[in-house]
């Protein structure tokens, strides 16, 4: 497969991102949330992945907040027809590298108990369960599992990230640039 492009999300990407989100989730955020995230939330960093097989269209995106010394993944979504091809890994990988580059201690997130696909993806990235938020989701009152990584600068986690980066680069043979994914800070 030709290599996808991983890049910081730009305001001009928002219409495409919303289309991906609508396809991926049953209830999406309104457009304004993304606009605010990109222009007014200095903690927020969002990435998009474009696929050559989709004529360069955005097929996946994700975002995280850099909160003092801990990063929090707020969303990851892949178009249903592009799943199980490594795009979820690509986005999570980019977000974790971004958190490491920003000197965050660790990364946390919440995920629906029933979301086996996402939980498996996060486990690949070394996230483990640390707690439960009861009835966290407003739509169906489902519990959220809180997951976290160990310290990003620990030798074991760095080795894991190196191994996963090598796997991704084998999967997408052309070079993917994981450095300098920090979006320009909003002014």
Ligand X SMILES: CC(C)(COP(=O)(O)OP(=O)(O)OC[C@H]1O[C@@H](n2cnc3c(N)ncnc32)[C@H](O)[C@@H]1OP(=O)(O)O)[C@@H](O)C(=O)NCCC(=O)NCCS
137 tagged catalytic = no
93 binds ligand X (CB under 6 A): no
Q: Taking CB under 6 A as the rule, does residue 118 contact ligand X?
A: yes
Q: Considering the rule CB under 6 A, would residue 103 count as an interface residue with ligand X? A: no
Q: Does 3 bind ligand X (CB under 6 A)?
A: no
Residue 77 is a binding residue for ligand X (CB under 6 A): yes
- Least distance (Å) from ligand X to the CB of residue 187? 30
Q: Which is nearer to ligand X, 39 or 133 (CB)?
A: 133
Residues 1, 53, 120, 132: which binds ligand X (CB under 6 A)? 120
Q: Are 114 and 142 in contact (CB under 8 A)?
A: yes
Nearest to 61 by CA among 24, 32, 31, 29: 24
Catalytic residue, chosen from 110, 142, 150, 167, is: 110
Query: Active-site residue numbers?
Result: 110, 122
Residues engaged in binding ligand X (CB under 6 A):
24-25, 76-78, 83-89, 111, 115-118, 120-121, 124
């Amino acid at each position: 497969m030709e290599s996808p492009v991983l890049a910081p999300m730009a305001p001009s990407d928002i219409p495409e991102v919303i289309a991906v989100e609508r396809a991926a989730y049953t209830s999406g955020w309104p457009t304004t949330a993304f606009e605010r995230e990109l222009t007014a939330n200095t903690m927020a960093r969002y990435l998009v992945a474009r696929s050559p097989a989709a004529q360069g269209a955005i097929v996946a995106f994700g975002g995280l907040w850099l909160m003092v010394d801990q990063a929090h993944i707020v969303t990851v979504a892949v178009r249903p027809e592009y799943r199980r091809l490594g795009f979820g890994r690509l986005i999570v990988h980019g977000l974790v590298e971004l958190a490491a580059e920003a000197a965050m201690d660790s990364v946390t997130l919440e995920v629906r108990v029933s979301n086996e696909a996402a939980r498996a993806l996060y486990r690949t990235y070394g996230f483990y369960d640390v707690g439960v938020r009861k009835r966290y989701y407003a739509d169906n009152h489902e519990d959220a599992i809180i997951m976290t990584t160990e310290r990003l600068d620990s030798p074991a986690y760095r080795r894991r990230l190196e191994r996963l980066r090598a796997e991704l680069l084998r999967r997408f043979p052309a070079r993917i640039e994981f450095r300098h994914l920090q979006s320009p800070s909003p002014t």
